[in-house]
Amino acid sequence: MLLVCAEERSRRQIGYKYLLLGALPDLIILQQMIYRQRQACAPLQRFTESLWFYQDLDVDHTKEKLLPNGTLELIIDLSPTPKKLYDRRDTTRFTTFRRAWISGLQREYIVIGAEQGASMMGVHFRTGGAAPFFDFPISELTASVIELDLIWKAELSSLRDRLLQEPEISRKFDLLEATLLKKACHRLEMDGSVDAALDALRRQPGLSLRQLAGEIGLSKKQMISRFDGRVGCTPKLTSRILRFQMAVRTIHQSKNRDWAGLAQELGYYDQPHMIHEFQDFAGLTPADYASQLTIYPDYVVLE
């Protein structure tokens, strides 16, 4: 997401969910806002991209569209104002969330509110990395945003209270790490087959399930079952999301607008196939997305 610079209006944009994913310094203080991220300790690094924290969010928009990226996010709200998840079909309607929530793998974009002055922290899990921290298949969270009270009731109340009471940011991270380690217990083990499958899908966009199963040495049924529990969706949908993300990042990083060439490079059948996938995941064509680029590839400011 975008950090605030007083002189540049275009940079006054931060998404409270995906702010951690940019290539950002460990500590940023701009005007009143503070942002910090940290890599988790060694046992957790294989499962999380980063832990993140921000205080006194400064934005000049109220709604933003977040694109699917194949990951889960755990968010703890450290400010009193409820946060909004909007109906993507009718943004006059919304659901509010308080205290903390888990955003599962999304099949489509979601629309969230950007709240001036908000303070939050959270965990960005790797694709397939959230499973050790929950006692059920990760697919039960897919296409949902669920208040964490329903899942981690006792642990959450204690953790959030301690985070609010702790003035040192580094200690807040320590507390969050300790809770993750406690929740995982002795389940911090990788699924080698799922990891190998994810690597194969990143190397070969559009790889079929039959080819994937053959490369990994599992049956289709076994592959689907493992993805359901670890990633949150089928290998086919995972492949589509990862390929969509490759397209998003290629468009974001390059001024080349050779749509037919990009579609071929990423293994789409043709340009219309890529356009259709973009519309399914982002509600935009590739050209529309390219015309609305911001500093961060995974979101579009709505209003």
Secondary structure element (H or E) that encloses residue 100, with its range = strand 100-103
Tokens 């669920």 correspond to 146
pLDDT tens for each residue of the chain, 303 residues long: 333 332 233 333 344 333 333 334 454 444 578 889 999 999 999 999 999 999 998 888 899 999 999 999 999 999 999 999 999 999 999 999 999 999 999 999 999 998 888 999 999 999 999 999 998 999 999 999 999 988 887 777 789 999 999 999 999 999 999 999 999 988 898 899 999 999 999 998 888 888 888 888 889 899 999 999 999 999 999 999 999 999 999 999 987 789 999 999 999 999 999 999 999 999 999 999 999 887 778 988 888
- Res 88: pLDDT: 93
User: Domains, the chain, ranges and CATH?
Assistant: 9-184 (2.60.120), 192-298 (1.10.10.60)
The span from the CA of 122 to the CA of 71, in Å, is: 13
- Res 46: pLDDT: 94
- Res 296: pLDDT: 76
Contacts of 183 (CB under 8 A, 6+ apart): 132, 133, 134, 152, 155
The residue type found at 4 is V
